[in-house]
């Protein structure tokens, strides 16, 4: 084993040096980013005083007491090759440093992977031994020759990804100005202190006359405070990022040379073409095919999980229209490159278009697109009624997917491999239709299972190192979006530990007031930017560029591999407690990296011959992890992507059909540690959480022009069902072994504030219980004449006033650094109450029913169709049980306000003072539910009768029973009051 060496500077490749006390030089104490003193001095000279990795400012005293430590033979050995024998030091080790952890430990003396061919090639014991002896003798001679070469010449000859050092960085971190973020943090701390004093007062001053009401309100307020802490503190260090696309092109797209940009596989998922119109999916596909990116680097895979012939036929039409649309987009650099949205833009399309032929070609293209829409609509109209004998294809054979629950796997390559070119004779990106096999008795895991099938198919056919997944209704709005992501993923400094780059979701077709907070501006522009300053944003399901190796369950290369449990460590207590709901990080990593362990330990097996080594890394070890496909297994070892040379191209489609069979994932790690993780209908949160637990980090990319745009369900009922699905997924994660409260705590790779953010994402539905109670309290107080707060003293008044001021200041300062408008913040607060008392409440009960009674909830696809009239769906009211709780709360509070004013009129002017506080809280509820009330009434006040009847009935029964029982009124107080009345009568 190699001795411990100084870490290597990520900019120049030299050792970072040590201080006089023997400790390694550390520039950034937040993330320990390896950079030497010379490079750091250059950064300071150029005015860059923040860390390239985490964005935190450098300490001004970092240069104190630093010594440089050089070694002729070890100065260029990367630190992550710790299992390589000493004979590999020198120039060969430098070549290895650009390869992944798996490949670097499988390299022989020439830097060629041992796993060049499939695992089955390890069978001839004698040939292996003879080859090894020859290589050993050559390696010895090579090392003797290289030992005479000065280290400076080594540096000149070696290939380096960082050609010009820090001056060619592809992205930079732009921290929030100190004047804004400091005041923001101070107010947060002040609010925390005021909350502590406020609860001290509330708990020590109970309301004896309404003890039950007081206790309920205090419990609810404590929960709200905890929820605020979970939501607020992950926004402690928000940052911005800036990318340099021109530098990316200068580095990887040199004139006269083949483009070195990494390939990207696009995943587009669809299920029901009647709810997700094929025209919308076609626009998404067309925007991908017309990207501003090298054609041979783009492959688009469309997953049809409903096996609908309509989806297949619409993709045929899309591929045909792409031959005209793609060259038109690239010739005139139009934006966006989804035809439906481009032609609907109400702008001067002649602006910045100087070509005389543009107007003529645009008119011809618009006419072609209208004809394309007619053909697509004809296919949809035809598919409305399914023939009794099922669908048949043009050749007369039956469509294999007539039975959507029992059909074989289907793959069709439309563009790319077939040699199809556009009308100008240029090559087009690959377009592949995929419908995985489905059989009764198998668990298919809905969208997560479909995404994993696409991972395997793409690995067999194209095997791009990066994957970008989109929903079928999210088109590419910025043709340079992939280049934006590559500024992070291909940066040798920033992208080493990045598992995915997340883009914000932006939407079309939403009314200006955004009544139901469909844009989620606060989440995407505030919360996600805060997480980017910690360990990265959460995965939100679409608009995400993944590193394929991260999806395979590997840990980031900079993180040391966790040793197996048998090795000496201080976690002895953890090995004794193997609870399935709380597995230790050591056990988790050992199981996930069973393949890694076999490979990494090769360097220690000096006493074994080649045959015994091949047996230790047998095909069985791979199959337990990745499944029974030698082609796919070999593709997982190719970090830079590409189809293995040993694979016969004629057998690729057959192998791709094999990896999407319904039984392929049986007894493997798919869905457990590999790919999209199963166990929740919100597989996006779970998948990103697992990656962050392994030590990966993500990056939030917000280009000036939104990268992707989609459609949102602006209708009230559809919006609530969407929120219900998200909340139910969070409850499922909370009740699973992957709960962030305890999962992955022992490894220490998930930062504390990042864990708080994930805890917030899975516990927020439970806020619905105290929220419903708190929204009911004002009506109860007005009906009973009691209140949850005693008579306020001067100190108590100051505390309440300070609390309200701190809440307002926190919001104002948050708006200041984020740029979010007040209206967006208010809409977010309103829908937090609307969703909390309806969808979140139902999600909690459904989650517990699923856990206790095994009642599974069906995945409902949100309808993407739209009315012909603009915002037509906004005024449609659809019956759903989710409408009952908020409607009931509205009626109860309105009845309470009327009852409160009536009571005050009867009692005189003394009752108006106490009435003010009660009515204030009642109006707080009504104002937050106002968008719901407006949506419930619809454009022509057409609220479903059943909703009105149920709500009035529940509100009336509740009010009458409450007045009759009056449980929160002290019985002793009532008795003493009656006795006093008798004494007066006497």
Whether residue 64 is annotated as binding a ligand: the answer is no
Convert 613-629 to b/e letters by CB count within 10 Å (16 or more is b): bbeebeeebbbebbbbb
Q: Judge whether 684 counts as a catalytic residue.
A: yes
**Is 269 marked as a binding-site residue?**
yes
Contacts of 344 (CB under 8 A, 6+ apart): none
Percent helix, percent strand, percent coil in the chain, to nearest 5? 50, 10, 40
Number of helices (H), then strands (E), in the chain: 36, 15
CA distance 541 to 528: 14
CA distance 715 to 883: 13
Whether residue 718 is annotated as binding a ligand: the answer is no
DSSP conformation letters of 450-487: HHHHHHHHHHHHT--SEEEEEETT-EES-TTHHHHHHH
- Give me 267's structure tokens: 């995943």
CA distance 780 to 768: 18
Question: Other C-beta atoms within 10 Å of 632: how many?
Answer: 22
810 three-class SS:
helix
Backbone phi and psi for residue 470, each to the nearest 5 degrees, phi listed first: -135, 145
Q: Has 235 been labeled as part of a binding site?
A: no
Interstrand relation of 171-175 and 239-243 (parallel, antiparallel or unpaired): antiparallel
194, 799 Cβ separation under 8 angstroms: yes
HSE-CB for 529 with a 13 A CA cutoff? 23
Identified catalytic residue from 88, 684, 718, 824:
684
Contact by Cβ (8 Å): 881, 910? no
Which residues, 6 or more positions from 794, have their beta carbon under 8 angstroms from its beta carbon?
Answer: none
Among residues 883, 471, 483, 439, the alpha carbon closest in space to that of 707 is found at 483
Helices (H), 75-177: 91-96, 101-104, 125-146, 151-157
> For residues 527 and 505, what is the distance between their CA atoms, to the nearest angstrom?
13
Please state, in angstroms and rounded to a whole number, the distance separating the CA atoms of residues 464 and 461: 9
* Dist CA 636 CA 654 (whole Å): 18
Contact 539, 562 (CB under 8 A): no
Please identify which of the residues 105, 305, 491, 514 carries the catalytic annotation: 305
525: annotated active-site residue: no
Could you give the residue ranges of the DSSP H alpha helices within 301-399?
309-332, 339-343, 358-382
Do the annotations mark residue 446 as ligand-binding? Answer: yes
Q: Determine the straight-line distance between the first and last CA of the chain, rounded to whole angstroms.
A: 102
**What count of residues does the chain have?**
986
Q: Rounded distance, CA 546 to CA 249, Å?
A: 21
864 annotated ligand binder: no
DSSP string of 38-66, one letter each residue: HHHHHHHHTT--B-TTT-PBPPTTTTTTE
* Gap between the Cα atoms of 852 and 559, Å rounded: 39
- Whether 65 contacts 21, CB under 8 Å: yes
Answer whether 453's CB lies under 8 Å from 659's CB. yes
Specify the DSSP element, H or E, that contains 493.
none
Spatial contact of 326 and 368, defined as CB atoms under 8 Å apart:
no
- With contact defined as beta carbons under 8 Å apart, do 891 and 932 qualify? no
d(CA 721, CA 872): 18
Q: How far is CA 842 from CA 6, 504, 727, in A?
A: 56, 28, 9
Is 276 annotated in some ligand binding site? yes
**CA 738 to CA 745: how far, in whole Å?**
11
Annotated binding site for Mn(2+): 447, 471
Annotated binding site: 269, 275-276, 305, 446-447, 471
Annotated binding site for UDP-alpha-D-glucose: 269, 275-276, 305, 446
Residues marked active site are found at 305, 684
């Amino acid at each position: 084993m190699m001795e411990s060496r100084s870490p290597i500077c990520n900019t120049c490749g030299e050792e970072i040096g040590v201080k006089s006390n023997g400790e390694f030089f550390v520039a950034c104490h937040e993330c320990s980013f390896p950079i030497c003193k010379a490079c750091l001095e250059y950064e300071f000279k150029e005015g860059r005083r923040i860390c390239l990795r985490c964005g935190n400012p450098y300490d001004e005293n970092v240069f104190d007491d630093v010594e440089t430590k050089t070694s002729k033979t070890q100065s260029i050995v990367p630190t992550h090759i710790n299992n390589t024998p000493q004979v590999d030091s020198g120039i060969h080790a430098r070549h290895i440093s650009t390869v992944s952890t798996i490949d670097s430990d499988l390299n022989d003396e020439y830097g060629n992977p041992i796993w060049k061919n499939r695992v089955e090639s390890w069978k001839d014991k004698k040939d292996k031994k003879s080859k090894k002896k020859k290589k050993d003798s050559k390696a010895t001679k090579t090392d003797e020759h290289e030992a005479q070469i000065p280290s400076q010449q080594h540096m000149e000859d070696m290939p380096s990804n960082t050609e010009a050092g820090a001056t060619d960085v592809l992205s930079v971190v732009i921290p929030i100005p100190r004047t804004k973020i400091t005041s923001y943090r101070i107010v947060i701390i002040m609010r925390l202190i005021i909350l502590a004093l406020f609860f001290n007062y509330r708990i020590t001053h109970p309301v004896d006359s309404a003890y039950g009401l007081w206790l309920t309100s205090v419990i609810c307020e404590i929960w709200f405070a905890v929820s605020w802490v979970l939501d607020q503190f992950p926004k402690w260090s928000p940052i911005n990022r800036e990318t340099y696309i021109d530098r990316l092109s200068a580095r990887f797209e040199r004139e006269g040379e083949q483009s070195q940009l990494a390939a990207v596989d696009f995943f587009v998922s669809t299920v029901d073409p009647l709810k997700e119109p094929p025209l919308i999916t076609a626009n998404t596909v067309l925007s991908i095919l017309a990207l501003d990116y090298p054609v041979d680097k783009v492959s688009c895979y469309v997953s049809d999980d409903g096996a609908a012939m309509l989806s297949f036929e619409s993709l045929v039409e899309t591929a045909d229209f792409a031959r005209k649309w793609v060259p038109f987009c690239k010739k005139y650099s139009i934006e966006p490159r989804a035809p439906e949205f481009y032609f609907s833009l109400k702008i001067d399309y002649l602006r910045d278009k100087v070509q005389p032929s543009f107007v003529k070609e645009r008119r011809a293209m618009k006419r072609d697109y209208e004809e394309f829409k007619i053909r697509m609509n004809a296919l949809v109209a035809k598919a409305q009624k399914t023939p009794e004998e099922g669908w048949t294809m043009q050749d007369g054979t039956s469509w294999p997917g007539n039975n959507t629950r029992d059909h074989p796997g289907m793959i069709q390559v439309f563009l790319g491999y077939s040699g199809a070119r556009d009308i100008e004779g240029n090559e087009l990106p690959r377009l592949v239709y995929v419908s995985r096999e489905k059989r009764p008795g198998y668990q298919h895991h809905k969208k997560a299972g479909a995404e994993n099938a696409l991972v395997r198919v793409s690995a067999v056919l194209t095997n791009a190192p990066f994957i970008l997944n989109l929903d079928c209704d999210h088109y590419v709005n910025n043709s340079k979006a992939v280049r934006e992501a590559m500024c992070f993923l291909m940066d040798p400094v920033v992208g080493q530990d990045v598992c995915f780059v997340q883009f914000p979701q932006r939407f079309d077709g939403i009314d200006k007031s955004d009544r139901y907070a469909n844009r989620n501006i606060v989440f995407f522009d505030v919360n996600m930017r805060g997480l980017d300053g910690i360990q990265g944003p959460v995965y939100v399901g679409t608009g995400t560029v993944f590193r394929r190796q991260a999806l395979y369950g590997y840990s980031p290369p900079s993180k040391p591999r966790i040793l197996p449990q048998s090795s000496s460590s201080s976690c002895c207590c953890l090995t004794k407690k193997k609870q399935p709901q709380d597995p230790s990080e050591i056990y988790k990593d050992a199981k996930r990296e069973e393949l890694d362990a076999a490979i990494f330990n090769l360097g220690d097996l000096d006493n074994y011959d080649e045959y015994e080594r091949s047996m230790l890394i047998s095909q069985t070890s791979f199959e337990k992890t990745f499944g029974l496909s030698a082609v796919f297994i070999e593709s997982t070892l190719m970090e830079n992507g590409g189809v293995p040379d040993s694979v016969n191209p004629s057998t690729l489609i057959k192998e791709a059909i094999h990896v999407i069979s319904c039984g392929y994932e049986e007894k493997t790690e798919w869905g457990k540690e590999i790919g999209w993780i199963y166990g929740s209908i919100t597989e996006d949160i779970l998948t990103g959480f697992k990656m962050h637990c392994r030590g990966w980090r993500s990056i939030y990319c917000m280009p000036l022009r939104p990268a992707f745009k989609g459609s949102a369900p602006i209708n009230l009922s559809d919006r609530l069902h969407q929120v219900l699905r998200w909340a139910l997924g969070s409850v499922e994660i909370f009740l699973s072994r992957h709960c962030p409260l305890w999962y992955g705590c022992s490894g220490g790779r998930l930062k504390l504030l990042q864990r708080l953010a994930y805890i917030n994402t899975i516990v927020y539905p439970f806020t619905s219980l105290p929220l419903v109670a708190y929204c009911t309290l004002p009506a109860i107080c007005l009906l009973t004449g009691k209140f949850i707060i005693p008579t306020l003293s001067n100190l108590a008044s100051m505390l309440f006033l300070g609390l309200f001021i701190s809440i307002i200041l926190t919001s104002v300062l948050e708006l200041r650094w984020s740029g979010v408008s007040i209206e967006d913040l208010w809409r977010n607060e309103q829908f937090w109450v609307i969703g909390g008392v309806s969808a979140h409440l139902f999600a909690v009960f459904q989650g517990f029913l699923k856990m206790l009674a095994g009642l599974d909830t069906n995945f409902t696809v949100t309808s993407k169709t739209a009315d012909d009239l603009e915002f037509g769906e906004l005024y449609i009211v659809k019956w759903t049980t989710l409408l009952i709780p908020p409607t009931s709360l509205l009626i109860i509070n309105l009845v309470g306000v009327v009852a409160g004013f009536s009571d005050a009129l009867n009692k005189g002017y003394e009752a108006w003072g106490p009435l003010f506080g009660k009515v204030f809280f009642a109006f707080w509820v009504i104002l937050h539910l106002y968008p719901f009330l407006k949506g419930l009434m619809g454009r022509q006040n057409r609220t479903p009768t059943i909703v009105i009847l149920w709500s009035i009935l529940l509100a009336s029964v509740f009010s009458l029973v409450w007045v009759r029982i009056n449980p929160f009124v002290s019985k002793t107080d009532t008795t003493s009051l009656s006795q006093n009345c008798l004494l007066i009568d006497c």
